[in-house]
Amino acid sequence: MGCCACRTHDRGMDEPRALRASRSLRERILARRDDTESQRRIAPSIVDALADAGLFRIALPRAHGGLEATPRDALDAYEELADAEASVAWVVWNNALPAIVSRHLAPAVRREVFSDPRLVTANSTRPTGVAA
């Protein structure tokens, strides 16, 4: 057994999956930091790496293909990402909220909404928000 009986950790690994994934991307994120700033968007290769690592599914249960991170483990992962590039952490966090809110959906609907493992979501708590 791993470090504990929770499902957030892989067998034999003391570090939560979300934090391990965030740390594994640090150098790639730092290497594209200037591009992110100058282009005012996260480099597509970083978006792909985040999706491949499952970080856009940080708050989604494993039953639906997510990392099922605890709030503490998610915060640690966001902190790690933000240390490399704050906007990357912000985008990953923004993908957590739809997963959290989706707990109010019927299981079949939730499964359908998150059926694409590369889904990237967005949200706004401002009713005046406009998608661009």
Other Cβ atoms less than 10 A from the Cβ of 2: the count is 14
pTM for this structure?
A: 0.81
Q: What are the φ and ψ backbone dihedral angles of 77, each rounded to 5 degrees?
A: -65, -45
Give CA–CA dist 56/67, Å, rounded: 9
Encode pLDDT of 35-49 as tens digits: 888 889 999 999 999
Give CA–CA dist 123/31, Å, rounded: 27
Mean pLDDT, to the nearest integer, of 12-28? 88
Give CA–CA dist 73/77, Å, rounded: 6
Tally: H helices and E strands in the chain: 6, 0
Encode pLDDT of 96-121 as tens digits: 999 999 999 998 999 999 999 899 98
Is 5 a residue whose pLDDT tops 90? no
